[in-house]
Amino acid sequence: MHYGPAEMMVVALAREIREGDIVFHGLASPVPMTAMKLAKALGKEFTYVTLSDGVDPDFTRPAVIGSTLTANTYEGSVASFGLGEIFDLAASGRLDIAFLSFVQMDREGRINMSYVGGTYDRPKVRLPGGAGSATLTPVTRRTTIWKTKHDRTSFVKEVDFATTAADPAKMFTVVSNLCVFRLHNGLLEVDSVFPYTSLDEVKANTGWEITQDDALEYPAPTEEELRALERIDPYRIRYVEF
Amino acid sequence: MVEKVMSMTSAAKLVKDGMMLALGGNALHRSPVAFSRELARQGRRGLAAVGAAPGLATDLLCAAGAVDTVYFGFFGFENEYGLAAGFRKGCQEGRIQAIEGS
Which chain B residues touch A130 with a CB distance below 8 Å? Answer: 73-74, 100, 102
Kindly tell me if the per-residue pLDDT of A81 is higher than 90.
yes
Asked if A100 and A24 touch (Cβ cutoff 8 Å), the reply is: no
Which chain B residues touch A113 with a CB distance below 8 Å? Answer: 74
Structural domain spans, chain A: 5-101+132-144+165-241
Q: CA nearest A129 in B: which residue? A: B74
Cβ-defined contact of A26 to B74 (cutoff 8 Å)? yes
Which chain B residues touch A241 with a CB distance below 8 Å? Answer: 79
Q: What does pLDDT average to over chain B?
A: 96
Amino acid letter, A86: I
Kindly tell me if the per-residue pLDDT of B80 is higher than 90.
no
Q: CA nearest B80 in A: which residue? A: A240
Model pTM score? 0.96
Cβ-defined contact of A128 to B75 (cutoff 8 Å)? yes
Amino acid letter, A213: D
What is the Cα–Cα distance from A110 to B100, expressed in whole angstroms?
17
Residue A192, strand partner residues:
A180, A216
Rounded to a whole number, what is the distance in Å from the CA of B26 to chain A's nearest CA?
A: 8
Q: Residue A122's pLDDT is what?
A: 97
A236 pLDDT tier (thresholds 50, 70, 90) = very high
Residue B37, strand partner residues:
none
Q: CA nearest B27 in A: which residue? A: A27
Cβ-defined contact of A69 to B92 (cutoff 8 Å)? no
What is the longest distance spanned by two Cα atoms in chain B?
47
What is the Cα–Cα distance from A207 to A130, expressed in whole angstroms?
21
Q: Which residues of A have a CB under 8 Å from any CB of B?
A: 26-28, 30, 51, 66-70, 83, 113-115, 118, 120-136, 163-164, 240-241
Q: Residue A1's pLDDT is what?
A: 83
What is the average pLDDT across B52-58? 95
Which chain A residues touch B52 with a CB distance below 8 Å? Answer: 83, 131
Q: Shortest CB distance from A114 goes to which of B78, B83, B100?
A: B100
Give the phi and the psi of residue A49 in degrees, each rounded to 5: -105, 145
With 0-12 / 13-18 / 19 or more C-beta atoms within 10 angstroms meaning exposed / middle / buried, residue A36 is buried
Which chain B residues touch A136 with a CB distance below 8 Å? Answer: 102
Cβ-defined contact of B52 to A83 (cutoff 8 Å)? yes
Kindly tell me if the per-residue pLDDT of B1 is higher than 90.
no
What is the average pLDDT across A113-117? 98
Q: What is the pLDDT of residues A142-151, one digit of tens each?
A: 999 999 999 9
Q: Are strands A79-80 and A123-126 parallel, antiparallel or unpaired?
A: unpaired
Asked if B63 and B88 touch (Cβ cutoff 8 Å), the reply is: no
Q: Residue B2's pLDDT is what?
A: 86
Q: CA nearest A238 in B: which residue? A: B79
B71 and A CB contact within 8 Å: no
Q: What is the pLDDT of residues A140-198, one digit of tens each?
A: 999 999 999 999 999 999 999 999 999 999 999 999 999 999 999 999 999 999 999 99
Q: Residue A77's pLDDT is what?
A: 97
Q: Give the count of Cβ contacts less than 8 A between chain A and B.
A: 81
Kindly tell me if the per-residue pLDDT of A104 is higher than 90.
yes
Asked if B72 and B102 touch (Cβ cutoff 8 Å), the reply is: no
- Nearest of B24, B65, B86, B28 to residue A126 by alpha carbon: B86
B28 and A CB contact within 8 Å: yes
Which chain B residues touch A30 with a CB distance below 8 Å? Answer: 79
One-letter-per-residue 3-state SS of chain A: CCCCHHHHHHHHHHHHCCCCCEEEECCCCHHHHHHHHHHHHCCCCCEEEECCCEECCCCCCCCCCCCCCCHHHCCCCCEECCHHHHHHHHHCCCCCEEEECCCEECCCCEEECCEEEECCCCEEEECCCCCCHHHHHHHCCEEEEEECCCCCCCECCCCCCCCEECCCCCEEEEEECCEEEEEECCEEEEEEECCCCCHHHHHHCCCCCCCCCCCEECCCCCHHHHHHHHHHCCCCHHHHHC
Thinking of the domain A5-101+132-144+165-241, which architecture would CATH place it in? 3-Layer(aba) Sandwich (3.40)
